[in-house]
Amino acid sequence: MSETADPTSPSASFSRLLQGSGDASSRAIQKDNVRLLLVDDKPELLKSLFELVSIHGYIADQALGGQAALEALACNDYDVVLLDLIMPGVSGHDILEYAASQQLASKIVVVSGDASFSGVKHALHCGAFDFVKKPYEADALIATMETALKQCQLEERNSHVEAQLKESEELHRFIVNSSPDLVYMLDRDGCFTFLNDRLESLLGYRKDELLGRHYSELVDDDHLELARNIFNERRTGERAATNTELRLKSRLQRSGGRFLHAQSVWMEVTAKGIYQDNGERSRDTFSGTYGTARDISERKEAEQVINFQAYHDLLTHLPNRALLKDRLSMAITHARRNQRKLGVMFLDLDRFKIVNDTLGHTMGDRLLKAVAKRLQSCLRRGDTLSRFGGDEFTLLLPEVRSRDDVKMIASKILDRLNAPFILDGHELFVGASIGVALYPEAGETEEMLIQNADIAMYHVKGRGKNGFEFFSEEMNHQFTTRLAMERELRNALVQEQLCVHYQPQVDIRDGRIVGVEALVRWQHPTRGLVAPSDFLPVAEETGLIVQIDEYVQRRAFQDVQGWRNAGLGDVYLSVNLSATQLEQERCVANFTESLQQSGLPAVAVKIEITENLLMEDLEVIVPKLKELRASGLQIAIDDFGTGYSSLSYLQQFPVDTLKIDRTFVADIRAKRGDVTITNAIVAMAKGLNLSLIAEGVENRTQLNHLRKLGCTVVQGFIFSGPIAADELASLLGHNPFPELLASAIKAAD
């Protein structure tokens, strides 16, 4: 086949073959030749359907039920079958499956009362041509049937035309030029002698531009070496080149292909040698090469998208943990061979959860993308930054000379992240807690390095966040201990090993018990009573603190209301709220629901939060505290004086009570001690008309000094430490504190 035998005429030849026959869809249906089969399991409906098609001049066979229909289809060829779907025994679905399995040419129109989406979908999926719902309109049914008949005639005529084309040279031309593949021929020097019409739509070249030109002008520069083996193919038969993938140049701009070259097309090329005499294949009889090239760009794009998704985070486009571990493994091999160090940083964002909970996940995603971009600006060439999951990132530093190199990078990251992020007018602040593990001292495998960097990061979290720390073996021991503690604490919640103790709050004007603070205790089955300082930090890190808070609150509400019902006095209850509980979306609703279920009035409950918590999360905490206060609850600032709240802030907070921290009370001594801060806090509370409680009062000197300052309520070991609920009930019934108070005052006087 050569280009001089102009292959541009097939469409005209094809048209000539169709002339005189007319368009099957527009020709009148020859009703005498039509074979119809009507199928229904109800005789009256079958008769009605038969009469309808007969009125319109059609001859039809009838099948009463599915079994009769199968027998008719096995014996006769039908153009159209009007089929009821729901029939006992052999159903319409069975007939559709039979027609599909036998590859029957009949067009099946389903006529059924089952018009559900699933029923229609299944019928069409099984090969039905169309669907008409019972009860049907006669005209609509006939129109659908005739459409199916016209389709039958069209397919029959097309088959006839195709048979004629196969016998003609025009068919071969038509096939070549209508092929979705590029078809080409080269002479023995590698120059094009034939190109089909697909060239222009596929690559944007005209045939006359490339005919007589060397194939290399069409091959992407990166694939020239591979192309030599394909376009110079001399072999034939099974030994010829098949399905070789390479890129060809294109003048057409690709749209949407972010993973592929915009000016090239991936092709799958097949080639074989052409000889003047197939019986004698030699250098002298070699004429050139014939081949095809199929566009596989969409497949290559899909492959590269899948590959990208497998090894990258789709939000930030950073490497994911799988790709990180692969690169870390190679970096360890290189470091071991060259006796070098490498570093792994594990970064966890501080305060990200607040942004996510208050501004929504969309804003949270945008913040993560902005953080990723800022972190990338801190990288050296060869470093790998990956998103490990959530708000956690991991940084691989493949070559470090000393710890100072890592310190410099960590400090740079913290400086960059401490600058505000401006998103949609919101000024957002996030810091980072960074743990560092160095190879080989912190581990010699990728799993150990990542795990130990994670452990070091948790130590940074524990000492205040927004910093970095190198892993040490001591941390590993602490981490193992923490894991054991977490496991046992989870069991304690399930097995109800936690209990609530109460410390009385005493009015030092008359010795009355005016309130109690609820404090959690852990009665371990083998270790005895575990101090809160041993397990509460673990509970806060793991999020178990929320379950503990809610348990303490429910138990305390019930106990205090029980004492009130027993006539032991109207004491108020102080309960602690952690930062994690306050960050929960349903914190306020859950708290108030639990309180209402106990029957304890809201005015009898005082919520205690630490000053540091109040100052750290103003935008989240304050609105919830205002909502709680509006329901009648009181708000107290615990550990007051240890934080950094200013007087102007204090006036804006929904606060009723200040609790003087025990460290300031401890400074009150008989002969020495700086009590300036205590005096100032008392004066501040009076000036702002706030209630005041001093905690940690242990001796008469502290008690009398506070009494003289005007502080009216204290709690501490001078009266009682935290005690079980039954002991507290006994104290309420027989209060010895008035006598103790009188003795302390008398001694001071």
Q: DSSP letter string over 94-150?
A: HHHHHHHHHT---EEEEEES---HHHHHHHHHTT-SEEEESSPPHHHHHHHHHHHHH
- Asked whether 347 and 393 are in contact (CB, 8 A), the reply is yes
- Domain 179-304, architecture per CATH: 2-Layer Sandwich (3.30)
Minimum mean pLDDT among 27-31, 62-66, 574-578, 653-657: which range?
Answer: 27-31
Distance of CA 50 to the CA centre of its chain: 58
Q: Residue range 390-410: average pLDDT?
A: 90
Q: DSSP label at 642?
A: S
Res. 239 pLDDT band, cuts 50 70 90: confident
Q: Residue range 643-656: average pLDDT?
A: 66
- Whether the bond between 398 and the residue before it is cis, its omega within 30 degrees of 0, is no
In this predicted structure, what is the pLDDT of residue 1?
A: 41
- DSSP sequence for 606-639: EEEEEHHHHHHTHHHHHHHHHHHHHTT-EEEEEE
In this predicted structure, what is the pLDDT of residue 373?
A: 93
Distance of CA 22 to the CA centre of its chain: 58
Higher pLDDT, 178 or 17: 178
Assign domain 485-748 one CATH number from 1.10.10.10, 3.40.50.300, 3.20.20.450, 3.30.9.90.
3.20.20.450
What burial class does residue 456 get, using C-beta atoms within 10 Å of its C-beta: 0-12 exposed, 13-18 middle, 19+ buried? buried
CA contacts within 13 A on the Cβ side of 186: 23
In this predicted structure, what is the pLDDT of residue 540?
A: 83
**419 phi, psi to nearest 5 deg:** -70, 145
Tell me the pLDDT tens digit for each residue of 285-295: 888 999 999 98
Minimum mean pLDDT among 84-93, 309-318, 481-490, 709-718: which range?
Answer: 481-490
- Asked whether 350 and 465 are in contact (CB, 8 A), the reply is yes
Query: Residue for token digits 């007589």?
Result: 212
Task: Indicate the pairing of strand 182-187 with strand 286-295.
Answer: antiparallel
Alpha-carbon distance of 558 to 604, in angstroms, equals: 12
pLDDT at 590 over 50: yes
What are the residue boundaries of the structural domains of the chain, listed by start? 31-166, 179-304, 314-471, 485-748
Query: What is the share, in percent, of the chain residues with pLDDT greater than 90?
Result: 35
The C-alpha angle with vertex 721 and arms to 718 and 727, in degrees rounded to 5, equals 115
Assign domain 314-471 one CATH number from 3.30.70.270, 3.10.20.30, 3.50.50.60, 3.90.190.10.
3.30.70.270
Q: For the sheet containing 341-350, what is the strand order?
A: 384-389, 392-400, 341-350, 431-439, 467-470
Alpha-carbon distance of 248 to 265, in angstroms, equals: 5
Whether domain 31-166 has CATH 3.40.50.2300: the reply is: yes
Q: Which neighbouring-strand residues pair with 523?
A: 529
**380 phi, psi to nearest 5 deg:** -95, 165
In this predicted structure, what is the pLDDT of residue 720?
A: 93
Minimum mean pLDDT among 104-108, 301-305, 378-382, 465-469: which range?
Answer: 301-305
In this predicted structure, what is the pLDDT of residue 9?
A: 41
- Tell me the two tokens of residue 266: 């991936």
Q: Residue range 58-80: average pLDDT?
A: 91
In this predicted structure, what is the pLDDT of residue 26?
A: 46
pLDDT at 55 over 50: yes
Tell me the pLDDT tens digit for each residue of 185-199: 999 899 999 999 888
Q: 485-748: same fold as 179-304?
A: no
In this predicted structure, what is the pLDDT of residue 118?
A: 77
- Asked whether 593 and 574 are in contact (CB, 8 A), the reply is no
In this predicted structure, what is the pLDDT of residue 371?
A: 93
Alpha-carbon distance of 437 to 447, in angstroms, equals: 11
- Tell me the two tokens of residue 93: 């679905």
The alpha carbon torsion through 729, 735, 737, 742 (nearest 10 deg) reads: 170
Task: Indicate the pairing of strand 431-439 with strand 467-470.
Answer: parallel
In this predicted structure, what is the pLDDT of residue 648?
A: 58
Q: Residue range 37-48: average pLDDT?
A: 91
In this predicted structure, what is the pLDDT of residue 21?
A: 43
pLDDT at 17 over 50: no
Alpha-carbon distance of 225 to 339, in angstroms, equals: 39
**Measuring CA to CA, how many Å separate 253 from each of 43, 207, 222, 264?**
64, 19, 19, 9
Mean pLDDT score across all residues of the chain: 85
Q: Which neighbouring-strand residues pair with 267?
A: 246, 295
Element holding 561 (H helix, E strand): helix 545-565
Q: Residue range 74-88: average pLDDT?
A: 90
- Asked whether 319 and 311 are in contact (CB, 8 A), the reply is yes
Q: Residue range 703-718: average pLDDT?
A: 91
pTM of the predicted model over 0.85: no
Angle between helices 587-598 and 618-630 (to 10 degrees): 30
Res. 331 pLDDT band, cuts 50 70 90: very high
In this predicted structure, what is the pLDDT of residue 334?
A: 92
Residue ranges of the alpha helices (H) in 343-445? 352-359, 361-376, 403-418
**Measuring CA to CA, how many Å separate 717 from each of 208, 694, 737?**
102, 12, 12
pLDDT at 20 over 70: no
Alpha-carbon distance of 298 to 255, in angstroms, equals: 11
Residues 6+ apart with CB under 8 A from 298: none
Tell me the pLDDT tens digit for each residue of 675-710: 777 888 888 888 888 889 999 999 998 898 898 888
